[in-house]
Structure 1
Amino acid sequence: MPFTILEQSLSKQTEICVYLRNNSQIKGIIKAFDKHFNLVFLECQVDNKKISNFFQRGDNVVMIQSICSSLYFNCQLDYSIVQIIQNLIHILLKLLQFLHSAFLRFFIFWSCNYFLFI
């Protein structure tokens, strides 16, 4: 799968995003690659710094993602781990609020019925 992404990017001259071990990213157009994921970029952006003719060793590559963009569709995922964790915390808080209100409703209903039958 990663080789397919690299081959398509090389033939179509489309942009890819490479995630590295040190939590940095390289976005750019590749010029060449090998079986060890050593990559040569024509033009790229390394942590928001524009660089031309850049070489990246394959032993630091963690993930490769193709970046497809057009006028109506953008499949680039810009979620960082922090954003994902924030979204999960928000969902968990909403779930806890729901469970808390459901428990209170059940407790009030149960206590009212309990005292009615005593």
Structure 2
Amino acid sequence: MDSERPQKVPRTETKTKELLRTTVADGPFSLLDTAMKEKKRVFIQCRNSKALLAHVIAFDKHFNLVLKGVQEITESHGSEQKQRTIENLFLRGESVIFIVKLP
């Protein structure tokens, strides 16, 4: 009966890194991956009427982002916009609505 169980195959660190590289390069995270490698800025629309322009330093599967050179644009009541610059920022993935890579 014991031989009927699926065999546990140890995963090496190299195989794990290779798997992550292929899934990131082809999947929905490819935009973030290419923006990070090419050092291109991205536009991030967030909740609470906030938008960010920034360089992506790191990200994970939950869309948590580490950003650099962030320009935050906040729309307050009416059409009034406020801007501020933040050197480094950690953005929690649940606040991200969409991301666009800028040319």
The two structures have a TM-score, normalised by structure 2, of: 0.62
User: Residues 73-92 of structure 1 correspond to what in structure 2 (within 5 A)?
Assistant: none
* SS in structure 1 at match of 2:29: helix
Q: How far apart, in 2, do the equivalents of 1:42 and 1:60 lie? A: 17
Q: Which position in structure 2 is the counterpart of 1:104? A: none
Two-structure CA RMSD over aligned residues (Å):
1.1
2:59 aligned with 1:33: yes
1:56 corresponds in structure 2 to 91
Q: Does 2:42 align with 1:16?
A: yes
Unaligned segments of structure 2, at least 5 residues = 1-26, 74-82
TM-score, scaled relative to structure 1: 0.55
Task: Name the CA distance, whole Å, in 2 between partners of 1:2 and 1:56.
Answer: 18
Distance (Å, rounded) in 1 between the aligned partners of 2:102 and 2:51:
13
> Which piece of structure 1 moves more, 2-11 or 31-40?
2-11
User: Counterpart amino acid of 2:55?
Assistant: I
Structure with bigger helix share is: 1
- Report percent identity of matched pairs: 32
Using the alignment, how far apart are the partners of 2:40 and 2:47 within structure 1? Answer: 23
Paired residue secondary structure (1:22): coil
Contact 1:2 1:64 in 2 (8 A): no
Higher strand share: 2
The runs of at least 4 consecutive aligned structure 1 residues that moved more than 6 Å come to: none
Where do 5+ consecutive residues of structure 1 fail to align? 69-118
User: Larger Cα Rg: Structure 1 or Structure 2?
Assistant: 1
- How many residue pairs match? The answer is 68
